[in-house]
Every structure is written in C-alpha cells, then in structure tokens.
C-alpha cells in the first residue's frame, strides 16, 4: 500500500474520528507533552498527526507546531483546529521540511517497526540533541480494554498479521534497539496512559468504525454487519450510569539525536 491510499481507510469518517474517537487520546498526548516539557519556543512536528488534536494541545502549551499526515480528510480537520500551524498532507517518510527544522518531534501510534524510514526522516529534521517521542501499543490482547479492539480482527488473516507486525515495537528492548540503530540515544521507555471511552454501544461502534484498521475489517464483513456486531459486543460491557471504558497498554519512547 502506498501512502496516497491511506486516506481511503483513515479519511472516510474523519469528523467521526476527530470527535468520537480521538478525544480519548488526550491522556496520551498530555502525558507525553508533559514528559517532554513541551513549552514556549519549541518548534514541534507531529508525524502522522491525524486530525490534529495533539497539535492543538501542544499549541496550548506554547509550542510552534507543524504536522503531517497522509490522510487529506484528517488533515482538513487538523487545519480547521490549527489554522496558523504548518500542516501538510504528505508522506512522513519524506516530508520536504529542511534539515534540523524542529526541536522536538512526536508521533502518537504513527511510527511502527514497519516504518523505519520515518525515524530516519525524524533524525534528519532534528538538530543534535533534538528529541523524538513516539508511542506504540503494548500487549493489547492482555489489556483490560482488549475487547474494544476485537472488531479490528474481523479483517482478513493477512491484514491481521500486518497489524501484529505493526505492534512489534512495544516489546521490551525492541523499540530501544530500533531507535539506537537509527542514530538516537533511547534511554527512556515508559508506560503511557491510554483509555477508550464511549457513552454507549452505538457510539462505540461508530467511533471504532472511523479508524483506519476498522476499514480493513469493514471490507471483510461489510459496514452494516460491522456496526451490528460491534454494538452487540459492547452491550456485554455496559455498566449502568458509566461510560464504556477500556484501558489499553501503550508504551512511549523518547530518543535523543546523537
Ligand atoms: C494510528 S493513526 C494515529 C493518528 C494520530 N497520531 C492520533 O493520535 O490519532 C495512524 C495515522 O498514520 C497516518 N499515516 C499512515 N501512513 C502514513 C504515511 N506514510 N505518512 C503520513 N501519515 C501516515 C494515517 O493517516 C493515520 O492518521
């Protein structure tokens, strides 16, 4: 798949993704920004920025922000939220910004073991001492909220295998070795809070259906079936008076360019 095809899955429900799914990620964004000490004067790039909530939160902390994502329709939301930021539709593996344009680069579940070129690109875009922070899934299957991502496994076996490869970086030592091998000192690996929250099964199904990997499942089972089955799954987890809530294990790495 080329980067130009990413929008087909990620962009088709951009407004749903931005307003139903992405807000739950604010725990992750805030935690990582805080850990990095993001603040006034920082030139920050968010790689695979999606619909730009992380950029909005970094801006609130005073950073001058830029972003790039392959999905044109997610970028439309990111620009709407951050009209004065330099936000581009493009490939995170070859962004077009000049060398050492940023002090800090973040990527929230955007850089995977399958995307080493993006780490090389981040390396080029930072000065020596600049920092790259990235988050990757941990053991999703053993997480309390594992059921919430179960519908993504309704994709074809081939697509599910690819999803498994994409999470390899979460294993102890793997992410550190990956960053070390690409010119970063990766001293920090830490657990990052991540929670999905939805008010009810219908909103859960709709929110989940807006995510790129869900599209792979939808192509297998059809949209209507996907929504019906996801709603039925969530019904089993309803707690009266409380939102549906599922914590998923997520790890973060901070690499400093040598
Ligand atoms: C798991 S989502 C994470 C999005 C965002 N960081 C967030 O926290 O919601 C992965 C993102 O990577 C983007 N993406 C995939 N391949 C890309 C590429 N080659 N260049 C730029 N963005 C890409 C998708 O469009 C999608 O927004």
- Give a yes or no: residue 75 inside a domain: yes
Lowest pLDDT segment from 51-65, 167-181, 202-216: 167-181
> Can you name the residues that pair with 252 across neighbouring β-strands?
135, 190
- Give a yes or no: residue 223 inside a domain: no
Ligand 1 centroid distance, CA of 50 (Å): 5
Supply the mean pLDDT for the chain: 94
- Give a yes or no: residue 151 inside a domain: no
- Give a yes or no: residue 109 inside a domain: yes
pLDDT in tens, 4-42: 889 999 999 999 999 999 999 999 999 999 999 999 999
Q: Domain range spanning residue 19?
A: 3-138+166-194+245-257
2 CB-near residues (< 8 Å, 6+ apart): none
- Give a yes or no: residue 224 inside a domain: no
Task: Tell me what pLDDT residue 168 has.
Answer: 72
**Binning pLDDT at 50, 70 and 90, where does residue 161 land?**
confident
Q: Count how many domains the chain has.
A: 1
pLDDT in tens, 181-222: 999 998 789 999 999 999 999 999 999 999 999 999 999 999
Give nearest CA residue, ligand 1 atom 12. Answer: 48
Ligand 1 centroid distance, CA of 69 (Å): 6
Task: Tell me what pLDDT residue 113 has.
Answer: 72
CA distances, 178 to each of 3, 23, 118, 171, 215 (Å): 22, 29, 12, 11, 29
Looking at residue 184, which CATH number applies to its domain? 3.40.50.150
pLDDT in tens, 86-104: 999 999 999 999 999 999 9
- Give a yes or no: residue 98 inside a domain: yes
Residue 164: pLDDT above 70?
Answer: no
Which of 21, 30, 33, 48 best tests ligand 1's pocket when mutated (most atoms within 8 Å of CB)? 48
- Give a yes or no: residue 7 inside a domain: yes
- Give a yes or no: residue 230 inside a domain: no
Look up residue 237 and give its two tokens. 């987890």
Task: Tell me what pLDDT residue 69 has.
Answer: 97
């Amino acid at each position: 798949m080329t980067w130009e095809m990413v929008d087909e899955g990620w962009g088709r429900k951009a407004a749903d993704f931005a307003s139903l799914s992405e807000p739950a990620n604010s725990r992750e964004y805030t935690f990582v920004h805080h850990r990095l000490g993001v603040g006034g004067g920082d030139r920050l790039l968010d790689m695979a920025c999606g619909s730009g909530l992380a950029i909005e939160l970094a801006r609130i902390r005073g950073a001058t922000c830029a972003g790039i994502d392959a999905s044109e329709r997610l970028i439309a939301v990111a620009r709407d939220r951050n009209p004065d930021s330099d936000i581009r539709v493009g490939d995170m593996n070859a962004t077009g910004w000049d060398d050492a344009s940023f002090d800090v680069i973040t990527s929230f579940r955007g850089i995977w073991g399958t995307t080493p070129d993006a780490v090389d690109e981040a390396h080029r875009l930072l000065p020596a001492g600049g920092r790259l922070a990235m988050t990757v899934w941990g053991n999703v299957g053993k997480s309390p909220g594992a059921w919430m991502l179960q519908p993504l496994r309704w994709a074809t076996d081939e697509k599910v295998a690819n999803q498994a490869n994409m999470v390899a970086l979460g294993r102890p030592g793997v992410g550190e070795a990956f960053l070390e091998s690409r010119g970063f000192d990766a001293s920090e690996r830490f657990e990052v809070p991540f929670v999905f929250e939805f008010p009810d099964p219908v909103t859960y199904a709709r929110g989940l259906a807006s995510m790129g990997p869900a599209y792979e499942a939808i192509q297998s089972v059809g949209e209507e079936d996907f929504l019906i089955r996801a709603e039925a799954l969530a019904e089993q987890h309803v707690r009266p008076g409380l939102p549906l809530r599922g914590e998923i294990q997520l790890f973060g790495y901070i690499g400093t360019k040598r």
